[in-house]
Each structure stands twice: as C-alpha cells, then as structure tokens.
Amino acid sequence: MQQQLIRRLQNSSSAMSQALSRVRLIRPANCLMMGFAVLVGAYLARPGLSLAASSLNLLLGFVAGFCLTGASMAVNDYFDRFIDTINEPSRPIPSGAVKPREALAYATLLTIVGFVAAYMTNLLSLLAAVAAWALFTAYTARGKRMGFVGNLMVSGCVATPFVYGSLVIDGFNLYNLLFASMAFLSNTGREVTKGIVDVSGDSAHGIRTVAVLSGEKAAAYVGCVFYLSAVAISPLPLIWELASIRYLALVVLTDIGFVASSASLVRRPTRENARKVKQIVLVWMLLGLASFVAG
C-alpha cells in the first residue's frame, strides 16, 4: 500500500514536471507581454476607447498576440535544439523534458488558435497576423543564420503588436508608430546582446551574429547604439504634444535604465554580464510600455 502511494506521488510529480516544461517552452512571460502590447496598441490608437464596446475585439487581439508568440517560441526552440545543447542545456527540448515533435505540435495548435482569433477580429488583423507569422518563420528557417539581419527580423515581430492593436479597433495614429519604433530599436539592442550570451553555440553552428563576427566588445557597442537610439526618440511624444506630463515621469526612469545597462554592457561585455543586461532590459521595455499608457 505504501509503495503504491509512493509510485502515485512519483507519477504525479513527473506529470507536473512535464506540464511545467511545456509551459516553459512557450515563455509565458513573453506571451503575456506581447498580448498586453496588442491592448496597449489599441489604447494608443484610441485613448478614449470604450472597453464595453470593444471588449470582444480586445480579447481576440490579446489571444492572437499570446498564442502566436507562444507558437514562435516553440518553433524557435525546435530549430535551436542543437545550439541549445551548448548555450541553454536546461531548456525543455535539449533537457529531454519536451520532445521536438511535441514542440511542433504545440506550435501548430497555438498558430491555429491565433489565426482563428485574428480572423474573428477583422480581415486586416488576419493579414497582419499571417505577415508576422511568415516573418518569424522566415527568421527561424533562414534569417537566424544571417546574424544581424535576423536580429532586425525578430525586432520587426516585436514591434508588430503595437500596430496590430490599432487594427483590432480600426484606428491608427502617430503614437502607435512611435512606440513601435522604440520597441524595434530597444529589442534590436537586446538581440545583439543575446548574441554575446550565445556566442559559443552560435559560432559552433555557423550563426553569424555581431558577437561571432566582430567579438563581444564590438557587439556591446552595437547593442548600446540601439538602446541609446530608443532613448533619443523617447522625448518625441512630448515635443509633438502627443503625451501628457505623466509620460515624462516614467520615461525618464526608462531612459536612465537603458543608459545604465548600456554603460554596464560596454564596461563588461562578458557572457555573464550580457545575460544580466538582456534580462534587465525587459524591465526597461515594460516600464517604457507603462509610460506610454500613463501619458
């Protein structure tokens, strides 16, 4: 009796571990952030948006952003499974917690749900969702090996939700374009920074990142140029009178964070420090997102 109970507990623990690995595969934090970015894009397009009147479209927009991001994460890990045995051996696929075919199955399911949500919103949303999916698929299949060009492709996908959100509620303004530009620039800096973290696996598999081609120090400088470019355009909403003073309070903190992270990366362009910088940069990006909403 006692042995049966122990076996049941072990089976339950194993099932829980597998479930958590499947959740980790899609990076739920990234999925939530992209789903939220769609909502922010809608709000930026129409600051006086009625939640009651647009609740269904906003929900569908969030679902599309969440699911397509999850699909892209799973596909990315599938294509990166050999590189990750060097760079990130604890990830679900290289650790053996999730089989490669399972990852593709999850990606397919999430893609279908994302496309259905986009189709139920409107035709433009569906076209934008398909375009973003095609861009990321091209990145995973070919663009990744192109290094910096691949970084730009990923950043294009990251910037898309802020435009997609405006399509969800049939509206668009300069604010959407500004934040999409800031997201594009800051994420490109982060992608270049990630290249410093992954230089061992990337060089072994022919991934031509800035860090692989020119060294960690050069990659640190390139990443900083993009971080600081995002900082440089952050005053534009105030200059063009698109935002209130509330925007200023949060965006100043965001800019200070990007500048401090840039200085840290240039001082110590090591794998360990680059990993810390790429993680903290996500915080500055989220803070920047909050500044636009507040403003």
212-264 pLDDT, tens per residue?
999 999 999 999 999 999 999 999 988 888 788 888 889 999 999 999 999 99
170: left (phi over 0), alpha (psi -120 to 50) or beta: left
pLDDT of residue 33: 86
Q: Are the C-beta atoms of 74 and 110 separated by less than 8 Å?
A: yes
Return the pLDDT at 47.
72
Condensed to tens digits (0 to 9), the pLDDT of residues 27-45 reads 898 899 899 899 988 888 8
pLDDT tens figures, 150-190: 999 999 998 999 899 999 988 777 888 888 999 999 999 99
pLDDT band at 83 (very low <50, low <70, confident <90, very high): confident
- Please give the domain boundaries of the chain with CATH numbers for all domains: 16-172 (1.10.357.140), 174-295 (1.20.120.1780)
Question: Does residue 17 carry a pLDDT above 70?
Answer: no
How far apart, in Å, are the Cα atoms of 71 and each of 65, 79, 108, 136, 258? 10, 12, 7, 10, 29
What's this model's pTM, rounded to 2 decimal places? Answer: 0.83
User: Residue 9: pLDDT above 80?
Assistant: no
